[in-house]
């Protein structure tokens, strides 16, 4: 475990050196210095489907953001016994994720490495509709995540690849409580 952490930190420091060695390629009239950005991340902090995120750049090295993602959507038919009689109903279960995060960037305008840390609220919603009643249940679970990534930026767009350590909500089934994960993002910067 210690060797893996040292290798991970060493690769990160090497990549920071490479990113800092890049030349500035942007002029001041493009969107590379924009404070606002929106992006879509495939997989990432939401585990399965991905998320839509907004990010605000505080300064050249720091940004904060929020996102909304979908983990699962299930629907079908369900049966239950109510007062000695079998009722047939429909269920609609969703898993969503609401995220808050902060990023620390190192590098030049075009090539940057970043460290990200955040919290994710995994919200499971269960809705069962029977002839006699509708049952709605909520199960929120707040978890943390952290990761390292690389960002390649154009004049108004950017691409990101991230590696995360994700804390899963309980119970997690066959997933371990903490596990490595990745995400791929494409985004747009604007004023």
Tell me the torsion sign for CA atoms 14, 16, 17, 22.
positive
Whole-number average pLDDT of the chain: 86
Exposure string for 63-83, b = 16+ CB within 10 A, e = fewer: bebebebebeeeeeeeeeeee
**189 and 157 in contact (C-beta within 8 Å)?**
yes
Q: Are strands 134-153 and 111-129 parallel, antiparallel or unpaired?
A: antiparallel
Query: Would you place residue 26 in the very low, low, confident or very high pLDDT band (cuts 50, 70, 90)?
Result: very low
How remote is the C-alpha of 136 from its chain's centroid? 26
Structure tokens at 3: 């060797």
38-56 average pLDDT score: 93
* In the predicted structure, residue 55 carries a pLDDT above the cut 90: yes
Return d(Cα 13, Cα 7) in angstroms, integer.
10
Residue-wise pLDDT for 4-13, tens only, equals 555 555 555 5
116-126 average pLDDT score: 96
The matching CATH number, chosen from 3.20.20.220, 3.40.50.300, 3.40.50.620, 2.40.160.20, for 2-20+33-190 is 2.40.160.20
Residue 189 phi/psi, 5-degree rounding, is -100, 145
Return d(Cα 107, Cα 158) in angstroms, integer.
14
Residue-wise pLDDT for 144-171, tens only, equals 999 999 999 998 999 999 999 999 887 6
The structural domains of the chain, with segments of one domain joined by +, span 2-20+33-190
* Greater model confidence, 71 or 183: 183
């Amino acid at each position: 475990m210690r060797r893996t952490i040292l290798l991970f930190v060493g690769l990160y420091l090497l990549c920071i050196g490479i990113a800092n060695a890049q030349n500035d390629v942007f002029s001041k009239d493009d969107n590379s210095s924009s404070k606002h950005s929106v992006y879509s991340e495939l997989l990432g902090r939401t585990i399965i489907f991905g998320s839509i995120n907004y990010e605000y750049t505080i300064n050249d090295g720091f940004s904060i953001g929020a996102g909304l993602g979908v983990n699962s959507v299930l629907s079908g038919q369900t049966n239950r016994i109510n007062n000695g009689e079998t009722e047939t109903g429909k269920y609609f279960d969703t898993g969503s994720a609401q995220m808050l995060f902060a990023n620390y960037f190192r590098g030049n305008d075009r090539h940057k490495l970043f460290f990200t840390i955040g919290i994710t609220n995994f919200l499971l919603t269960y809705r069962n509709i029977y002839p006699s009643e509708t049952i709605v249940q909520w199960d929120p679970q707040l978890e943390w995540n952290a990761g390292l990534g690389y960002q390649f930026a154009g004049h108004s767009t950017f691409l990101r690849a991230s590696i995360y350590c994700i804390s899963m909500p309980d119970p997690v089934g066959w997933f371990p409580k903490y596990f490595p994960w990745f995400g791929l993002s494409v985004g747009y910067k604007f004023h």
